[in-house]
Structure 1
Amino acid sequence: MKYLYTLAILCCLGFTANAQTTNSNYNKALADSLGADNYGMKQYVLVILKTGSNTTTDKEKLNQYFRGHMENIGRLAKEGKLVVAGPLGKNDKSYRGIFILDAKTIEEAQKLVETDPAVKAKIFDVELYPWYGSAALPVYLDTHSKISKENP
């Protein structure tokens, strides 16, 4: 499965399946610091946040859960464990948002997700899946902090 994802990415970048070449821009120190494999990829865990079973309408409680949710996102990002987070548009599956966690296993990711007050309160349920993507994902966060004019 991992091979198919890598092949798809390499094909999108203009590489063919039959021709492996050495990247003249390769930076071993950077690759090692990001945990990259030979293809510049690594294992993450994709988390899908779904509407949970807690249907409280208490605005004060909801504000408390969402404030805690946002604070937890910030904490996990600062710790380097959360590399992507964001809400999803309305859909028929009750999917609310995604995380991509820098975690090697579902079990490790589950422990990280359980630190979220909105997950603990069942405002969100979660689905977790192994995901193979670019090891460079974590470095975009520094750039984002320089282009976001306001923080939520």
Structure 2
Amino acid sequence: MKTYLLLALLLFSNKAFCQELNPKYDSALADSLGSDDYGMKYYTFVLLKTGKTIIENKEEVSNLFKGHMENIQKLADDGKLIVAGPFGKNERNYRGIFILNVKTIEEAEVLLQSDPAIKAGLLEAEITPWYGSSALPTYLENSEKVNKYSF
């Protein structure tokens, strides 16, 4: 009796650990997005914080942040920026985030040097690899359709 019970347990537990193929899987889409077998891939996550540089000239600061916004748009247009957005007021000096469509910190650092606010030291970037859904870039297709106002 113990043998049958053990055999049944092994059969059912093996089924619990088996992976089943997703019936909605689209291999062409997965390949085009750089997906691994789990529909994931590496990006870089950038945490923007208040930088150490203080610029008293408000017009200069305004121009640097205008350039910051233009750079965000350019990186998005180039397919390098997937997510960007500011934080609300907080005590940690967190200003915003980027999720960049690049695999390495070195690639991200090169892209961030095109941002005038970061280059000037008004913003400081902390960069770390991030593993997320490879479908994340597809959300941009719809984001422009829900913005009533453009920047």
Shift of 1:82: 0.2
- Is there any run of 5+ residues in structure 2 with no aligned partner, and where? 1-15
Aligned-partner Cα distance in 1 for 2:39–2:125: 28
Q: Which amino acid aligns with 1:56?
A: I
- Please, what TM-score do these two structures have when normalized by structure 2? 0.87
- Is there any run of 5+ residues in structure 1 with no aligned partner, and where? 1-16
Shift of 1:142: 1.0
Identity of aligned residues (%): 55
Alignment length (residue pairs): 136
1:8 aligns to what? none
1:116 aligns to what? 115
**Cα displacement string for residues 80-139 of structure 1 (whole angstroms, at most 9, x for unaligned residues):** 000000001122221100000011100001101111000000000110000000001111
2:140 aligns to what? 141
- SS of structure 1 residue aligned to 2:129: strand
The 5-angstrom pairing of residues 3-152 of structure 1 reads 18-152=17-151
Aligned-partner Cα distance in 1 for 2:35–2:144: 23
Q: Which amino acid aligns with 1:123?
A: L
Aligned-partner Cα distance in 2 for 1:46–1:93: 17
- Please, what TM-score do these two structures have when normalized by structure 1? 0.87
Aligned-partner Cα distance in 1 for 2:17–2:118: 45
- SS of structure 2 residue aligned to 1:47: strand
Aligned-partner Cα distance in 1 for 2:112–2:38: 28
Aligned-partner Cα distance in 2 for 1:72–1:57: 23
- SS of structure 2 residue aligned to 1:130: strand
Give runs of ≥4 in structure 1 deviating > 6 Å. none
1:10 aligns to what? none
Aligned-partner Cα distance in 2 for 1:118–1:132: 27
Q: Flag the structure with larger Rg.
A: 2
Aligned-partner Cα distance in 2 for 1:88–1:143: 22
